[in-house]
Amino acid sequence: DAGVTQSPTHLIKTRGQQVTLRCSPKSGHDTVSWYQQALGQGPQFIFQYYEEEERQRGNFPDRFSGHQFPNYSSELNVNALLLGDSALYLCASNPGQGTEAFFGQGTRLTVV
């Protein structure tokens, strides 16, 4: 049973560029959440998608946007990248009303 998978694993972008990160949820899960983890910190909630709609959003600017597809996979888009956007981006999935969230390995984004 494949767990949560994310791509790419690593990414280097230049300040001002745009980036798209991808996530496939664990089999049987229909809800996907995205988190940003800075070095030495706990993950910070960005937003959650359920039934292709953004269900809840954390304290992140509109430069951060997302999408969920009919097969429950999801994308995170970040526009106008800043140096401070450098972090590990984590995707988590859970079944609709289940509270146990399972995380992927993350995408390490470096903005130079």
Partner 1 sequence: QKEVEQDPGPLSVPEGAIVSLNCTYSNSAFQYFMWYRQYSRKGPELLMYTYSSGNKEDGRFTAQVDKSSKYISLFIRDSQPSDSATYLCAMSADQGAQKLVFGQGTRLTINP
Q: Which residues bind partner 1 (CB under 8 A)?
A: 4, 31, 33, 35, 40-45, 48, 50, 55-56, 58, 90, 92, 94, 96-106, 108
Q: What is the DSSP letter of 87?
A: E
Q: Give min distance, CB of 9 to partner 1, in A.
A: 10
Q: Which two tokens stand for residue 74?
A: 């999801």
Q: Which residues on adjacent β-strands are paired with residue 7?
A: 22
Neighbours of 86 (CB within 10 A): 17
d(CA 111, CA 80): 11
Q: Which is nearer to partner 1, 15 or 57 (CB)?
A: 57
Smallest distance from partner 1 to CB 106, Å: 5
Taking the complex as a whole, how short is the minimal distance between the CB of residue 53 and partner 1, in angstroms?
13
